[in-house]
Every structure is written in structure tokens, then in C-alpha cells.
Amino acid sequence: MQKKRTINELIKECHGVARDKGWWIDERNHGELIALMHSELSEALEAMRNRGTKAEIAEELADCCIRIFDYCGAHGIDLEKALIKKIDYNKTRPYRHGKKF
């Protein structure tokens, strides 16, 4: 059985693959990288609209995570720590805070 990897280990791996494949030879535009993350979410939405399988939707969501992880790896962002902090904070918020539906 394969050892489970932490978020930070996945970030390091995703960024390493992107570097190895030549995506970080030059500095990359932050806005463009965010747009690429967004495009993967749009592809997930399109898969849902087209009644894609769970596997197809999961693949697009995984692509989004890979882009986010690559960005975090390139910029030294400890996403794992930020996720834990945000989840813990969200637990303290009132039910349906902001009454947004």
C-alpha cells in the first residue's frame, strides 16, 4: 500500500513535476496562474453540465488542486498550515454565517 502524503508533500511533488516539465524556466505571471486555476474549475463545471462521471469531474478538480499546489510550491506558501487554520476558524463561525444561501 502506498504511504499517504501530506498536503505539503503533494505541493512539493506537484511543483517539482512542473519545474521538471519546463513550466518554471522563466518567472510566471500571478494573474495568469490564478486564471489557469480558475479554468480547471470551469472545466469541472462543464463536466458536471455534460453529466460527466464522478471520475471525470474528480479529474478536473484534481487539475485545479495541482495548479494550486504548484503555485504554492513556487512561492513558498504553506497551504497545509493555512488550511488547518481556516478550518479551525470556520468551526467557530455561526450556522450559515452571513445568512447567504
Q: Are 60 and 47 spatial neighbours (Cβ–Cβ below 8 Å)? A: yes
Q: How many CB atoms lie within 10 A of CB 31?
A: 8
Sequence spans of domains, the chain? 7-94
pLDDT at 86: 97
Q: The whole model's pTM is what?
A: 0.90
Sequence letter at residue 86: K
**What are 98's three cell numbers?**
452571513
What is the maximal distance between C-alpha atoms in the chain? Answer: 46
Model pLDDT, residue 1: 78
- Determine the residue type at 90: N
pLDDT band at 2 (very low <50, low <70, confident <90, very high): confident
Whether the pLDDT of residue 100 is over 70: the answer is: no
Q: Cell 479554468 belongs to which residue?
A: 39
Q: How confident is the model at residue 22 (pLDDT cuts 50, 70, 90)?
A: very high
Q: 78-91: per-residue pLDDT in tens?
A: 999 999 999 999 99
44, 65 Cβ separation under 8 angstroms: no
- Indicate the CATH number of 7-94 among 3.40.1000, 3.30.70, 1.10.287, 1.10.3470: 1.10.287
